Amino acid sequence: MSDNLQVLLLDDEPIVGRRLKPALAKIGCEVEVFEDPEAALARMAQKEFDVVVTDIRMDQIDGMQVLEFVRDRWPRSKVIMITGYAMMSLAREAMEKGAFDFIAKPFKPDDLRRVIAKAAKALGSSLDFEAVEMEKANG
């Protein structure tokens, strides 16, 4: 098994996965990106991910259902919800149901990296996020 943090990223907007996968890979995450919630659930039925990042609002299967699936099947996994500003009440509900954290759109890759680093720490793992920050600060 890899020492890298295993992350599943689910968002029905393809741009989100294309932008965030390389950003998370830079800090040592192994990322699998899904746009289809059904495909993501099928993958999560086979494999435990350390961190699951999911959009709340999606067609057919929404982020709350993804959260419930992960909480039932992989209680150790940390679930981070992505939400729009209009969905803050739903984000709070997600926190009550066991989500680790949520992040509001629009956000920058560093915002998500910080939340994932926090989740990694909660799992007893560490990420190279600070090293990346130092590298950026030093030019």
pLDDT at 1 over 60: no
* Closest of 42, 38, 36, 44 to residue 17, by C-alpha: 36
User: What's the pLDDT at 60?
Assistant: 87
Mean pLDDT rounded to a whole number for the chain: 90
131 band by pLDDT with thresholds 50, 70 and 90 = low
CA 59 to centroid of chain Cα atoms = 18
* Closest of 106, 120, 79 to residue 20, by C-alpha: 106
Q: Which two tokens stand for residue 7?
A: 């992350």
Per the CB < 8 A criterion, the answer to whether 73 and 44 are in contact is yes
Spatial separation of the C-alpha atoms in residues 116 and 103, rounded to whole Å: 11
Q: How far is CA 2 from CA 15, 50, 84, 138, in A?
A: 27, 11, 33, 30
| CB crowding 25-42: b at 16 or more within 10 Å, else e | ebbbbbbbbbbebeebbe
Residue-wise pLDDT for 9-44, tens only, equals 999 999 999 999 999 999 999 999 999 999 999 999
